[in-house]
Structure 1
Amino acid sequence: MIEIACDESGADGENLVGGNTLFFAHGSVDVSVEFAGSVISEIRERIRSPAEEYKANHLLREKHRAVLEWLLGALRGRAHVELVRKESFLVGRVVEVLGGEGAPSGEGVPEEVWGAFVRAGNRLLRVRAEVDSGVLVEEFFGSLDALRSAVAGTEAGEMLARLSGRRERAFAYRASIPTLIPVLDPLFPTIVDTAAHWSSPGTPVHLVHDRQTLLTPARVEWIRQRAEARGVTLAGLRLVQARSDPRVQLADFLAGIARKIAGDEATGVGDPVLGELLRPYLEAGALRGDGARKG
């Protein structure tokens, strides 16, 4: 059995647009408690902050750049990050709920048109609604029609045209919204992806995860079943306080670092050196956001 420690960064629950972060990151490490402890001690020795608990933002300060680069070298081959671009995840879920294929992007679309579409999609799929379902559905399909007009004559336009007749699916979704695993929360499927990354034939994976109130026994069982469906034997998922396990602290560092580097790159202020140091921890293309979700 292999034991993997993990933690997340950038969680906003079902709020995938207009939040504080563009990306959700789930970091994981395959190291011993002793190795993790030595790395944490080295970071403390180098940074010398009086803070009781260090977080990724300590390492992301310019004055600690050398420590950040050292850490990204020290964990190479021993760690991984699942990186989810929230907007891409949202659009994929909208298309999935409506029974479509593919996913449109905002490239070349007026910002106000695209923004209205993703905001309406987010409101449509949220578990809790502040207005009547009929209002949400009409709002969404109005934004979809505006987007169709903006990309008329393209492949995306044809795909959106097929979605435009799916009001009954939208109403059916609102009538029986899944609450055990909200479709807009990337945490649960991303934990499955993390287990799948570390899985190998005949070797069960046991996860040690930072304590999350969202990870109820029923949801952990859903994660186990979904992992099993992908050929992964998830031997267990143990919740701990991050401060009690240096491996989880390292996963927390890595997730926060990855989320910040990816966000900078996506907004055009990326650091090429840090981008290259991060890439070995990601799936191909994930730093650009085009490989952020496998399903």
Structure 2
Amino acid sequence: MPLTGEKYTQLNQPEATTDGEDRGRWIACDESGWDGEQLVGRQRRFMVYASVAVDDVEAAALIQQLRDQAGIRQAKELKFDLFKNRTNRWSLLQHLWEPGGALHDRCSVYVVDKEYAAAAKVIDLLLEEKEHDEGGNLYADGKARALARTLALEGPRALRGTLFQELMSAFVTLASRRGTSRQDEALGVFVAALDQAWAASTRKAVTALLARLRGTRDYAATFHKDPADPVFPQLEMLIPAVAQTARRWDRRVGRVSVLTDEQQMLTDDALRTVREYACAPVGMTLLTRERGADVAAVVRGDSVDHPSIQLADLLAGAAAAVTERHEGNPSDVGEGLWPVITSFVEQSSLLPYDDPAAQLRSVKERPVRR
């Protein structure tokens, strides 16, 4: 059902998309595993943002071909749920994506480890702010990323039992919009959890990091002091994912237009922010600065009307199954599709590893059920 309300009136794309000089290449996108600001303690640890470089004209023919081959007649649109439990159907997707397939070199998967994202936000919103005020720069030489990795990867081992989960949950509650109405209470819970974690830590690197974080209470107390309502929440991962997707596709094919599936978080203002960020240069130094992308438009559409979004949905669902496999929750479709799906994983994905694709090829030894 199309989104309604004044926040969703301007950047809609009701017409079929067509590649051309004015709009460039159309990139259709869809997500799986989005939980808003709730980054920890969720059923699924990963959010995937899938994109396909295909316009609606070409996508319509591919969707019809899949319908005919899979024998799907009644459904208004093709969703991954129609394919995932039937080998003869998901193997059609495999043929579409594998070398020689129609979409092999036209797919991208940006993966967000939500628990790592929360750890990165701890560093970004607390420690980096303090360091900046004191004349330091945690972004130089990858220091902030290294600290986030320490917290995400070593924290659970250093804080036994439920201590790490309690600490991260307290931070998310404080930093998210839901903490606005009870800021003093949320701050008290976070500070207590931080003190307890520091006292109980069994790893030197984690203990040292927690000691530094204990000095950021004043910064934690100001999360919601600014009366100006931001375009999107501080812990929101979907909007940065759209911007990253636009930037990466520009590097591959030049000028692009991005068509997102309708999502409540993707308001007109949010989509404008995505395009503004994607078009702006980023980087802390001249050596690391990356030019802005050539993004002609960032708009939303209904998947029923846009077969290109249906192709993105199929890719997002398959990528989600592969991340579940990595977490130790196997399925036939995840086992069958991981070789092709991991080849689409972006190096810039928000995971605490230098090679995200290689990590997602592995499987945790013990099943993890959340």
- TM-score after normalising by structure 2: 0.72
Q: Is the 8 A contact 1:10 1:25 kept in 2?
A: yes
Secondary structure at the counterpart of residue 263 of structure 2: coil
Q: Which residue of structure 2 aligns with residue 207 of structure 1?
A: 258
Question: 1:214, CA displacement in angstroms?
Answer: 2.5
Tell me, yes or no, if structure 1 residue 69 matches structure 2 residue 132: no
Instruction: Give 1:260's match in structure 2, choosing from 309, 314, 321.
Output: 321
Question: 1:254, CA displacement in angstroms?
Answer: 0.8
User: What do the CA deviations read for 1:121-143 (whole angstroms, capped 9, x no partner)?
Assistant: 11011112386312111211222
The one-letter amino acid of 1:198's match is W
Q: Is the 8 A contact 1:4 1:29 kept in 2?
A: yes
Secondary structure at the counterpart of residue 281 of structure 1: coil
Stretches of structure 1 lacking an aligned partner (at least 5 in a row): none
Tell me, yes or no, if structure 1 residue 275 matches structure 2 residue 298: no
Q: Which residue of structure 2 aligns with residue 173 of structure 1?
A: 223
In structure 2, relative to structure 1, the CA distance for the partners of 1:56 and 1:137 (3 Å cut) is same
Secondary structure at the counterpart of residue 61 of structure 1: coil
In structure 2, relative to structure 1, the CA distance for the partners of 1:66 and 1:218 (3 Å cut) is closer
In structure 2, relative to structure 1, the CA distance for the partners of 1:215 and 1:88 (3 Å cut) is same
In structure 2, relative to structure 1, the CA distance for the partners of 1:224 and 1:181 (3 Å cut) is same
Tell which has more relative contact order, 1 or 2 (C-alpha 8 A, sep 6+): 1
Tell me, yes or no, if structure 1 residue 185 matches structure 2 residue 236: yes
Q: Which residue of structure 2 aligns with residue 158 of structure 1?
A: 208
Q: Is the 8 A contact 2:25 2:55 kept in 1?
A: no
Q: Which residue of structure 2 aligns with residue 19 of structure 1?
A: 42
Deviates more, 1:32-41 or 1:221-230: 32-41
The one-letter amino acid of 1:126's match is S
Question: 1:201, CA displacement in angstroms?
Answer: 9.2
Q: Is the 8 A contact 2:63 2:307 kept in 1?
A: yes
In structure 2, relative to structure 1, the CA distance for the partners of 1:287 and 1:195 (3 Å cut) is closer
Tell me, yes or no, if structure 1 residue 229 matches structure 2 residue 284: no
The one-letter amino acid of 2:192's match is G
Tell me, yes or no, if structure 1 residue 239 matches structure 2 residue 267: no
Distance in 2 between the 1:39 and 1:240 partners? 19
CA RMSD of aligned residues (A): 2.6
Q: Which residue of structure 2 aligns with residue 57 of structure 1?
A: 81
Equivalent positions of 1:51-200 (< 5 A) are 51-63=75-87, 64-73=89-98, 74=101, 75-100=103-128, 101=144, 102-103=147-148, 104-105=151-152, 106-108=155-157, 109-129=159-179, 132-176=182-226, 179-200=230-251
The one-letter amino acid of 1:3's match is W
Deviates more, 1:175-184 or 1:86-95: 175-184
Question: 1:269, CA displacement in angstroms?
Answer: 3.2
In structure 2, relative to structure 1, the CA distance for the partners of 1:258 and 1:119 (3 Å cut) is same
Distance in 2 between the 1:55 and 1:110 partners? 41
Secondary structure at the counterpart of residue 200 of structure 1: helix
Distance in 1 between the 2:116 and 2:156 partners? 12
Secondary structure at the counterpart of residue 7 of structure 1: strand
Deviates more, 1:99-108 or 1:133-142: 99-108
Secondary structure at the counterpart of residue 214 of structure 1: coil
Secondary structure at the counterpart of residue 99 of structure 1: helix
- TM-score after normalising by structure 1: 0.88
Q: Which residue of structure 2 aligns with residue 220 of structure 1?
A: 271
Q: Count residues in correspondence.
A: 292
Indicate the structure (1 or 2) with the bigger Cα radius of gyration: 2
In structure 2, relative to structure 1, the CA distance for the partners of 1:33 and 1:217 (3 Å cut) is closer
Distance in 2 between the 1:41 and 1:126 partners? 42
Question: 1:251, CA displacement in angstroms?
Answer: 0.8
Secondary structure at the counterpart of residue 198 of structure 1: helix
Deviates more, 1:188-197 or 1:50-59: 50-59
Distance in 1 between the 2:260 and 2:42 partners? 24
In structure 2, relative to structure 1, the CA distance for the partners of 1:115 and 1:215 (3 Å cut) is same
Stretches of structure 2 lacking an aligned partner (at least 5 in a row): 1-23, 129-143, 282-291, 357-370
The one-letter amino acid of 2:118's match is L
Deviates more, 1:223-232 or 1:249-258: 223-232
In structure 2, relative to structure 1, the CA distance for the partners of 1:136 and 1:287 (3 Å cut) is closer
Question: 1:188, CA displacement in angstroms?
Answer: 0.8
Secondary structure at the counterpart of residue 266 of structure 2: coil
